[in-house]
Structure 1
Amino acid sequence: MKKSLFFAVVMFLGTVSTINAQKFAGLQKSPTDISYAKTDRNAKPDIKVIYSRPQKKGRTMLGDKVPYGKVWRTGADEATEIKLFKDMKLGDGTVKAGTYSLFTIPGEKEWTVILSSDLDVWGAYSYDEGKDIARIKVPAAKGDELEAFSIAFKKVDKGYHMVLGWETVRVEVPFYN
């Protein structure tokens, strides 16, 4: 009995030291975040966005590191993913419930917002316009300075506005029921 208890303790301590010796990578440079569109705090979501939040770190991002007029992954790392839990109107069309990649083409005065059926892609390097599900142009406005790229939802009368913000730029993308 004593030998088996001793053996069990030695095995446990060996496992613990192995776990403690494990090396973990550093923190993400652009942490992943999730934003939800809900009617209230306790409701199930109507829209969910999963994205990575690049940081300015003293750099000019929009119009420089993220060039105007070129397709952008709308965040960092993998392309931003948007899930519609029900059919939603976007611009003149209706987008079926489902999961899509969210790309944008930033501009000084307006942005083109794109929902694509191409999922699990790194950045916008392999962006394929033939997989676009919907496109809408929205005006760019000014707001307070934001260090990290951010996405939030604002409840409006017939749905939500998905607000994209970075630096002093704000873009509102209308999704309606």
Structure 2
Amino acid sequence: MKKLLFSTLFLASVAAYSQYTLPAASPRQKVEQQFSTSKITVDYGRPGVKGRKIFGELVPYNKVWRAGANSSTKITFDQAVNFGGNTVPAGTYGLFVIPTDKEWKLILNKDAQQWGAYAYDEKLNVTQVSAPVQNLSEKQEWFGIELNPVDDNALDMVIKWDMAKVSVPIKVANPELTTKVVDKLKEIRQIERDAAAKK
């Protein structure tokens, strides 16, 4: 009887705690931003500074870094974009960085499913752009990626960590085609509104 009672209590305790997870050292975050006629999504791990020297030590200079923690950072474009001056087709890519103290090389790679940058293969690179490092006035404790709209067809991807900040412009790859799509959508919406008004 005691064994049965203990087993019942044990199972009840397990069930009660199964809804919780252990705190992640580098919590995962997904950022999504409406962009032109579609959206851009970034999925990444957020390590903390935690009193460590980051760039040049934890993240070595002149070596490929996963731009976050744990599995590689993934960026998804639902339409073709101009990434820092280079055209990139719609799709999901691994985002990697080669940092120096003055500038970062930001790389989009076809392999978005690897752990860290251990299996990084530069032959799978789709594009690579350079961006100057800016100094922050206040420390950014947790690594962060922001998608900040500039206008209907452009945004800045901003990466911040510790005292460093890097920004890359992302624009619509084919603005003329996008304008035609938007105009057509507006025309369809107006027809729908007119039809609804007549009912």
| Distance in 2 of aligned mates of 1:22 and 1:36 | 29
Answer yes or no: is the 8 Å Cα contact 1:31–1:53 preserved in 2.
yes
Inter-CA distance 19–113: structure 2 relative to 1 (3 Å threshold): same
Matched-pair identity in %:
36
Alignment coverage as a number of residue pairs: 162
Match of 1:164 among 159, 167, 177: 159
More helix by share: 2
Match of 1:127 among 120, 144, 147: 120
Amino acid at match of 2:167: E
After TM superposition, the score normalised by the length of structure 1 is 0.83
Structure number with bigger Rg: 2
Answer yes or no: is the 8 Å Cα contact 1:37–1:47 preserved in 2.
yes
After TM superposition, the score normalised by the length of structure 2 is 0.74
Q: How much does 1:48 deviate?
A: 0.5
Provide structure 1 residue ranges, at least 5 long, that are not aligned to the other structure.
1-12
Which secondary structure state, in structure 1, belongs to the residue aligned with residue 75 of structure 2? Answer: strand
- Who is 2:33 aligned against? 37
Root-mean-square deviation over aligned CA pairs: 2.3
| Distance in 2 of aligned mates of 1:74 and 1:130 | 19
- Who is 1:7 aligned against? none
Q: How much does 1:161 deviate?
A: 0.8
Match of 1:28 among 24, 29, 36: 24
1:151 matched to 2:125? The reply is no
Which secondary structure state, in structure 2, belongs to the residue aligned with residue 34 of structure 1? Answer: strand
Q: Which moved more, 1:85-94 or 1:58-67?
A: 85-94
Q: How much does 1:25 deviate?
A: 5.3
Q: How much does 1:173 deviate?
A: 1.1
Match of 1:106 among 70, 86, 99: 99
* 1:101-154 Cα distance to aligned partner (Å, 9 max, x none): 100111111100000101210000110000001110111101121001000012
Amino acid at match of 1:154: N
Answer yes or no: is the 8 Å Cα contact 1:114–1:135 preserved in 2.
yes
Provide structure 2 residue ranges, at least 5 long, that are not aligned to the other structure.
1-7, 173-199
Q: How much does 1:45 deviate?
A: 5.4
